[in-house]
């Protein structure tokens, strides 16, 4: 059984029967059959349906927000914004897919030579719980507009969201079996990848999960795209606007109660401004309100599961035992639900979990640096490479650092890292490979075919 539990009160919401291997095979066969017709539809036809999906997402954002809040503890207002952003990505690809995938003429000695972009077929998406709608739609919108078929294996704690997303596509008019949810556990994923009708796989999630999926995809010689963990560094230089930097840093740290791959994780502050930064940062973090995610006053809701909360707390305790100083938080509150308070650890050095590992929750790690060069070195001293930010009043210097010196897939100057349908999104190192969004994302799951005519 797949069980949905409300992390705010730890009460069971609903039980769902997991699909049997035979039922999964049947759904894959149906997806393959649907592909034969779907790939022949026009961009105009697909766009019309995708616009309808966007309308549904934006018109019913309040209801979808309630579902997300109930299943994984997301703040209600954040769920509403997430649903609206999903509508944006649907519209973006409805309006741009044909242009992105238009044949590309290339001059050669041949009488005609060009490149076409053809759909590959059935694509499996293994998606996480932290942004239960957005992670799915940022994959599905380009994949469907390219003419592919989507199978969704969503996180087991958000089955309601998974089924609702399938219903959105059906209500928008997408043919049956073009988008299907597979209510299965992680143990069945390998068999789905092995199926000959499944041509590619994408995963957003942890590095261990990504490694397992990539291994199986490699074994089967199938394309995969991975967006994995991150330990995003935020560099605060001596000439930074500290008040603005603190505001941006706190906002990023507490997005989704800190449960975001691109949330700020490591705050690398040069010694000259460290005292001022820590003082203002502490004030902001201590003013956060932890509680009911349905309340408009709440700024930190519960974490998605109690086991995740407990793992985070263990990282905090291990860091403190190795010499980190806890400025605030750092305890499991005596209240129902998977809550963890806004926490600041400082005096972080290499060898502590707060330095070496991803802190997936409302815990900030402040790492001292003597100067700019050391700050950049520390920022890159990580197995991850998803996002990074640098704060400085010298814009040209900030642009140079972001463009040339930081090892990450998404680098920002004087702002926090965020995704945008118009820009490619993804990481390097153990944060994964491949790109989502923009014209780069829609080309991940197409056959980039060369055609030459003598």
Q: Do 312 and 207 belong to one domain?
A: no
pLDDT in tens, 230-261: 999 999 999 999 999 999 999 999 999 999 99
Q: Do 133 and 56 belong to one domain?
A: yes
Percent of the chain with pLDDT over 70: 100
d(CA 4, CA 7): 9
Q: How many domains are contained in the chain?
A: 2
Assigned domain for 421 exists: no
- pLDDT computed for residue 384 by the predictor: 98
Q: Do 407 and 437 belong to one domain?
A: no
- pLDDT computed for residue 78 by the predictor: 98
- Tell me whether residue 22 is one of the annotated catalytic residues: no
Q: Do 62 and 151 belong to one domain?
A: yes
- pLDDT computed for residue 135 by the predictor: 98
71, 82, 227, 358: the catalytic one is: 227
Helix (H) or strand (E) holding 269: strand 266-270
How much is the pTM? Answer: 0.97
Assigned domain for 169 exists: yes
Q: Indicate which CATH number applies to the domain containing 306.
A: 3.40.309.10
| Boundaries of domain holding 441 | 2-228+428-453
Assigned domain for 422 exists: no
- pLDDT computed for residue 415 by the predictor: 98
Q: In what order do the strands lie in the sheet with 432-433?
A: 179-181, 149-153, 122-126, 198-204, 223-227, 432-433
d(CA 79, CA 130): 11
- pLDDT computed for residue 19 by the predictor: 98
Q: Do 401 and 332 belong to one domain?
A: yes
- pLDDT computed for residue 128 by the predictor: 97
Assigned domain for 423 exists: no
Assigned domain for 339 exists: yes
- Polymer length of the chain: 454
261, 358, 411, 444: the catalytic one is: 261
Q: Do 408 and 434 belong to one domain?
A: no
Assigned domain for 91 exists: yes
Q: Do 175 and 263 belong to one domain?
A: no
Q: Indicate which CATH number applies to the domain containing 50.
A: 3.40.605.10
When pLDDT is cut at 50, 70 and 90, the band that residue 124 belongs to is: very high
Q: Do 293 and 348 belong to one domain?
A: yes
Q: Do 443 and 304 belong to one domain?
A: no
User: Residue 233 in 3-state DSSP?
Assistant: strand
- pLDDT computed for residue 444 by the predictor: 98
- pLDDT computed for residue 18 by the predictor: 97
* Rounded (10°) CA dihedral 168, 172, 175, 177: -10
Q: Do 265 and 161 belong to one domain?
A: no
Assigned domain for 44 exists: yes
pLDDT in tens, 297-339: 999 999 999 999 999 999 999 999 999 999 999 999 999 999 9
Assigned domain for 209 exists: yes
Q: Do 144 and 287 belong to one domain?
A: no
pLDDT in tens, 343-387: 999 999 999 999 999 999 999 999 999 999 999 999 999 999 999
- Residue 296, classified by CB atoms within 10 Å of its CB into exposed (0-12), middle (13-18) or buried (19+), is exposed
When pLDDT is cut at 50, 70 and 90, the band that residue 60 belongs to is: very high
Nearest to 92 by CA among 441, 445, 446, 435: 441
Cβ pair 395, 377 in contact under 8 A: no
What are the residue ranges of helices labelled H in 287-427? Answer: 306-321, 353-356, 372-380, 395-400
- Tell me whether residue 227 is one of the annotated catalytic residues: yes
Q: Do 387 and 249 belong to one domain?
A: yes
């Amino acid at each position: 059984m797949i069980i949905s539990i409300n992390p705010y009160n730890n009460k069971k919401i609903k039980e769902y029967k997991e699909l049997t291997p035979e039922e999964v095979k049947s759904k894959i066969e149906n997806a393959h059959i649907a592909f034969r017709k779907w790939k022949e539809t026009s961009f105009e036809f697909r766009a019309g349906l995708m616009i309808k999906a966007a309308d549904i997402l934006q018109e019913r954002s309040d209801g979808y927000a309630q579902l997300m809040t109930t299943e994984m503890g997301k703040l209600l207002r954040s769920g509403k914004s997430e649903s609206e952003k999903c509508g944006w990505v649907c519209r973006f690809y409805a309006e741009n897919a044909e242009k992105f995938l238009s044949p590309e003429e290339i001059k050669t000695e041949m009488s005609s030579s060009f490149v076409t972009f053809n759909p590959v077929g059935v694509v499996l998406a293994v998606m996480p719980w932290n942004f239960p709608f957005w992670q799915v739609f940022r994959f599905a919108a380009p994949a469907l507009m390219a003419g592919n078929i989507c199978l969704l294996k969503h996180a087991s704690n958000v089955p309601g969201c998974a089924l609702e997303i399938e219903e959105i596509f059906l209500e928008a008019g997408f043919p049956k079996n073009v988008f299907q949810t597979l209510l299965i556990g992680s143990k069945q994923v390998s068999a789905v990848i092995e199926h000959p009708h499944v041509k590619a796989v994408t995963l957003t999630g942890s590095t261990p999960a990504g490694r397992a999926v990539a291994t199986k995809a490699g074994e089967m010689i199938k394309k995969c795209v991975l967006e994995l963990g991150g330990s995003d560094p935020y560099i605060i230089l001596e000439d930074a606007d500290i008040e603005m930097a603190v505001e941006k840093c706190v906002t990023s740290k507490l997005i989704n109660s800190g449960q975001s791959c691109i949330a700020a994780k490591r705050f690398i502050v040069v010694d000259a401004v460290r005292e001022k930064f820590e003082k203002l940062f502490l004030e902001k973090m201590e003013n956060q309100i932890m509680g009911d995610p349905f309340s408009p006053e709440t700024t930190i809701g519960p974490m998605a599961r109690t086991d995740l909360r407990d793992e985070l707390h263990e990282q905090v305790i291990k860091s403190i035992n190795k010499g980190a100083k806890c400025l605030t938080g750092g305890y499991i509150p005596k209240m129902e639900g998977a809550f963890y308070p806004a926490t600041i650890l400082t005096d972080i050095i290499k060898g502590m979990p707060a330095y070496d590992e991803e802190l997936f929750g409302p815990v900030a790690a402040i790492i001292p640096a003597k100067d700019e060069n050391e700050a950049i070195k520390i920022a890159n001293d990580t197995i991850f490479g998803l996002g990074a930010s640098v704060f400085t009043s010298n814009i040209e210097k900030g642009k140079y650092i972001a463009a040339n010196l930081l090892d990450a897939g998404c680098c920002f100057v004087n702002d926090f890292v965020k995704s945008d349908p118009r820009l490619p999104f993804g990481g390097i190192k153990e944060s994964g490979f491949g790109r989502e969004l923009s014209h780069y994302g829609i080309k991940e799951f197409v056959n980039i075919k060369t055609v030459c005519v003598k």
